[in-house]
Structure formats: C-alpha cells, structure tokens
Amino acid sequence: MSKRNKLEKFAEVLSFPNTFENFDHSEPSLLGKDGEPVDLKGKWAADYFQNDHPITLELACGRGEYTLALARNYPNRNFIGVDIKGARIWKGARIALEEGLQNVAFLRTRIEQLNYFFEADEVHEIWITFPDPFPRKSKANRRLTAPNFLKVYRRVLAKDGLVHLKTDADSLYEFSLETLQSDPQVVIQYQDDDIYAKPLAYPELDHKTYYEHMHLEDGKTIKYLRFRIHGSEEEE
C-alpha cells in the first residue's frame, strides 16, 4: 500500500461515524466522527449502539472480517473491532457502513489501554483472531495471551467473561495453553489443535479471516482455545 493511500484512508476513516480513535497514547482521550471528543467508557451500549445488548470485542481485528461476520450472524449483540492500524480498520468500517450494520463499531487504540475506554464488566466476550505470535522469546509479553494482557481483559470483562483464541501458530497455541493453565482465575472450556479435522465444535468458528484463508492454503492447521476468566482485577 502506498503512503498516499494510507494517508487517504486515515483521513477518510476520521469521517466515519462508526470509528473512534485514540491518537495520543499518553492521554486516554477518544475522538469520534470529524475528530470530535467523545466519552463512551461505560456507555458504549447505551450511547453508541443505543441498546442494552452484550458487547464483544475482536482484538487485533485487522480488516475486521470476524467482527463483520459475527455482527451479521448475531444482530442482538454489539461488536467492536480493535486495532492500532487505522488503514486496516478503514476497510471493515467502510463495509459496515455500506451494509448498514448498526451493531458494529471500530476502535483504534493499543490493546493495553482497553481499560481507559471500557468500564469494568462492560465487555462480555473477546475474540483474538490470528494475532502476531511474536515467536521470539524476548517478545513473549507482546503475545495477546500473555499474563499482562490477561490482566487487561480481566479489568473490562464481565464476571466469567468468555475469551476465544484462533491461531495457526503452534508456538502461540502452546504458550497460551501453558499460560492459561497456570492462572487460577482461568478455566479452559475447550481446546483443539486442528479444528477442521472434525465437525466444528461451535458454529462461529466457521468464519474465516483473510489470513486464515492464506494459512489454510499453505496447509497449516487452525488451533482454537475457548476460556473464561473468573473474577476481576479489583478483586485481586
């Protein structure tokens, strides 16, 4: 993608009513359509979605394929795709607007800062779809199932909130299993190191991202973890 195209997308996404951005990571403020400041913490369902439906986040959502697929299939839930890359979010946000999906929003921010923009118990479910596995041991704390990220999720998830990981990376899957099994507040509900070798355990696993299609073409197996996080950071 050329620099010009990225700049054009950055400019256009600022005009989208379904996209919110945090530009200064040292200042937890959020900007909405046309750069207007907004405060949605604790009020996403009531103020943005204008309903009381449960909220699901897709983290490192990229183009938002999973966010969009889930939103189409579950109209009585709200979905927010989260990514730091504005040019990626642009595509998913534009498709949501074109399709008139009222239960979709996108948030551009660092995942480490979710608690700045979501209140405790505000999120009911999290999907982590094909994140960067960061295979080097020195970058283990950047893996989205590392203990520091589990603490972030615990701050915003409702009690017994559900988390999904879908990945092609053996190293991330094994790391995640080990990390989750060592956390007394985590209960693994389901684990599978090759979801397509048998009938799917859950229908929502059938949605495929751009990267998943590539992985399958390369002959890689798709792994899945489904787990609940009990309690909250405030209780620790």
| DSSP per-residue codes, 156-178 | HEEEEEEEEEEES-HHHHHHHHH
Q: Kindly provide the b/e burial profile for residues 103-112, where b requires at least 16 CB atoms within 10 angstroms of the residue's own CB.
A: bbbbbbbebe
At 71 the pLDDT is 98
At 8 the pLDDT is 75
Tell me the average confidence (pLDDT) per consecutive run of 10 residues in the chain, 236 residues long.
64 88 86 92 97 97 95 97 89 96 97 96 97 95 97 94 96 98 96 96 92 90 95 50
Among 39, 47, 132, 194, the one annotated catalytic: 132
Backbone angles phi, psi at 70, to 5 degrees: -65, -40
CA distances from 17 to 50, 107, 115, 117, 229 (A): 14, 11, 22, 17, 32
* Distance from C-alpha of 179 to C-alpha of 4, rounded to nearest angstrom: 41
Token representation of residue 132: 């960067």
Closest CA relative to residue 108, chosen from 27, 23, 165, 34: 23
At 79 the pLDDT is 98
At 23 the pLDDT is 82
132 catalytic, yes or no? yes
- For 145, the 3-state DSSP assignment is coil
* Distance from C-alpha of 215 to C-alpha of 211, rounded to nearest angstrom: 6
Q: Enumerate domains of the chain plus CATH numbers.
A: 3-235 (3.40.50.150)
86-99 vs 65-73: helix crossing angle, rounded to 10: 20
CA distances from 57 to 2, 3, 90, 128, 197 (A): 29, 29, 17, 8, 27
